[in-house]
Amino acid sequence: MWDVAEELKAMLVFAEHRYYGESLPFGPDSFKDSRHLNFLTSEQALADFAELITHLKRTIPGAGDQPVIAIGGSYGGMLAAWFRMKYPHVVVGALAASAPIWQFEDLVPCNVFMKIVSTDFKKSGPNCSESIRRSWDAINRLSNTGSGLQWLTQALHLCSPLTSDDIQHFKEWISETWVNLAMVDYPYESNFLQPLPAWPIKVVCQYLKNPTVSDSLLLENIFQALNIYYNYSGQAKCLNISETATSRLGILGWSYQACTEMVMPFCANGVDDMFEPFLWNLKQFSDECFNQWGVRPRPSWITTLYGGKNISSHSNIIFSNGDLDPWSGGGVTKDISHTLVAITIPEGAHHLDLRANNAYDPASVLLARSLEVRHMKQWIRGFHDNARRQH
């Protein structure tokens, strides 16, 4: 956005989503209970954006007769797409980067996400995904004994001693680390979820070349790999299995949203992917939501509200996706019409196209960005043509 604002003579407005950052409708009580959280929905967020844009157009001199474009990545990309669908009179188009608008119900297979993560590891070094696939049983075997648990705590430099009750969570924490690495597998040093080297999965995979070693050696290698993600800066004294990303992304708000509207089914089978198999269990998920927030999810509502795969009557939305990004599995990766277009970036991770220009950008993301700008210019031209015709 910063890079193309001048070319498009654009004003940049960053709208903070309610219940995130400093936009807490009830201050410190905002996450207190479901009554206070009742106003945290995607619809309310879209309405905020509509009010904000309408307000800015009314109050900023010269803004009233200018076109507006919605831009977002990830959940923000879904919001950008949905905003154009629901408020086409407010924005002339939307760039929905890495927006998994189909990661709901059965619109895509629930294992597609984990499959893409695994493919990234498979492609990033010999035996890499196979090493990870074998690590789960190694952990299971070691965690059968007290001395095994003690060894794991030390070998993986964990901040608190592992107990057998922690094992399930411990494995999920490792899984989530691989997932996060897939999301941020950028071609240069970056700091989205954590400070990381260029092509971090390649770096990680250097430690995971040999899957047929002993359990303890395999897990020492796993530690080296995890350490890339959690300790690239060299500052961490130990690894904390209750954290996977820096907390600034608003994990609390998202957890509530996932428990109400944003119900995304995930699963793995251990064959098409490198993870320990798990099923999508709505009942269990619902019970967890009820325990945590006092609410139960509505898994079909997003599809009913935003149309699922039947969105062809809309227009002027770019869906961009990186092939390395696990979220691309729930994204729109084929053109739906000539105004609902898909752009894929083979070397791209999670919304790489929205990141600042970088000397190490692969050609595919440069092409994506220039296509995006071309579409935006077309929307802007169309807006002005229309305005002229009406006068």
Footprint on this chain of its own copies (rule: CB under 8 A): 43, 47, 50-51, 54, 86-90, 300, 304-305, 307-308, 310-315, 386
Nearer to its own copies, 305 or 373 (CB): 305
Among residues 74, 135, 190, 320, which one is catalytic? Answer: 74
Q: Is 23 a catalytic residue?
A: no
3 state SS of 328: helix
Least Å distance between CB 387 and its own copies?
10
Q: Rounded to 5 degrees, what angle do the CA atoms 370, 376, 379 make?
A: 150
Backbone φ and ψ for 22, nearest 5 degrees, come out as -95, 0
Among residues 325, 328, 351, 364, which one is catalytic? Answer: 325
Alpha-carbon distance of 227 to 210, in angstroms, equals 18
Nearer to its own copies, 57 or 123 (CB): 57
Q: Is 351 a catalytic residue?
A: no
Residue 224 in tokens: 């080296």
Nearer to its own copies, 145 or 300 (CB): 300
Alpha-carbon distance of 187 to 319, in angstroms, equals 21
Nearer to its own copies, 37 or 179 (CB): 37
Nearer to its own copies, 88 or 195 (CB): 88
Alpha-carbon distance of 195 to 128, in angstroms, equals 22
Least Å distance between CB 48 and its own copies?
11
CA atoms within 13 A on the CB side of 357: 9
**Taking Cα atoms as reference points, which of 338, 360, 336 lies closest to residue 348?**
360
Is residue 285 within 8 Å of 310, Cβ to Cβ? Answer: no
**Taking Cα atoms as reference points, which of 283, 293, 306 lies closest to residue 259?**
293
Least Å distance between CB 307 and its own copies?
3
Least Å distance between CB 14 and its own copies?
20
CA 254 from centroid of its chain's CA atoms: 11
**Taking Cα atoms as reference points, which of 180, 119, 96, 3 lies closest to residue 351?**
96
Residue 252 in tokens: 């609390």
Q: Is 215 a catalytic residue?
A: no
Alpha-carbon distance of 90 to 63, in angstroms, equals 12
Least Å distance between CB 363 and its own copies?
34
Q: Mind telling me the catalytic residues?
A: 74, 325, 350
